[in-house]
Amino acid sequence: MMTQDLIEAINAIKAGDKKTGHQLLVSILKDNPQNEDAWLWVLHVVNKREDKIKCLEKVLKINPNNELARKGLTRLKSDIEMSTLEDIVPEEIKKPKNKPKFSILVIDDLHETRRFLNTFLADEYEVFQARNGSEGLRKIKHHKPDVVILDYKMHHFDGIQVLKELRTQRIPTRVIMCSFHLSTDQMIECIRLGASDVLQKPFTVEELRERVAWVLATGSTIGHRAKIDDLQQQYKNEEQLKTKFEQENKILKQANLQMSH
């Protein structure tokens, strides 16, 4: 359950103030030990593996169908750390033999979010990651991903700024904007700026996969939308000039008619 206290805790964590975030989460869980979202966010403020495992076990006890928690728990309980695996696996077998047809760039300032999304998407797509909006723009230009999963609220360079830059620079890409509790006006702004879809956090893995597949199948790109908007504006301006010319021409004809009498 997403409460105002939980939103404040999340904002504190994203701002780098894990101490305040932790205190708020403890208070929330004291009042409601069954708050699934709060337990998931505790993962971001604890460091020990055993503490992370306890958090995920709590989540699964509350909701046995939480695939994100189940997958994370499996990884944490494995005998070998993921970082260790990356060190010992030869470079030539780290990547799949057949390159995925589509690529995705995840732009989010939380390492855990990027890691989890990579875990669930890497079996179907080539996944790149960026820690902030400015890095994300560079990677969009370099990798030219088919879909960008973009966090709305990031420090220094947020998701809206990324959308505006993509639109200004006419960079064609499909964007799924993700965030907690966006207002209707904020969602409309995202779509107006070219986002193909808006996804509210927390979301299930299956929901994310469905949205990505849908956007790949139907979503128009930001660059194309900007071009369409320009053409529409140009057409609108031409229609306004045409109307104005017709009105002035009508007035002139009436004046000439009066003078002739």
pLDDT for 158 beyond 70: yes
pTM for the complete prediction?
0.54
Q: What pLDDT score was predicted for residue 85?
A: 37
Element (H, E) at 127: strand 126-130
**Locate tokens 């869980």: which residue?**
29
Report, as an integer, the average pLDDT of 83-90.
39
Contact indicator for 100, 125 with CB cutoff of 8 Å: yes
Q: How confident is the model at residue 82 (pLDDT cuts 50, 70, 90)?
A: very low
pLDDT, average across residues 157-167: 92
SS3 of the chain: helix, strand, coil, percent, to 5: 60, 10, 30
Mean pLDDT of the chain: 79
Nearest to 168 by CA among 225, 212, 237, 253: 225
- Residue 49: its pLDDT value, please? 81
pLDDT category at 235 given cuts 50, 70, 90 is: low
Q: Do 159 and 180 meet the contact criterion of CB atoms below 8 Å apart?
A: no
| Alpha-carbon span 45 to 51, nearest angstrom | 10
Return the axis-axis angle of helices 205-218 and 67-77, rounded to nearest 10°: 110
Distances (CA, A) of 9 to 12, 198, 214: 5, 23, 32
Percent of the chain with pLDDT over 90: 20
Which residue ranges form the domains of the chain, and what is each CATH number? 4-84 (1.25.40.10), 100-223 (3.40.50.2300)
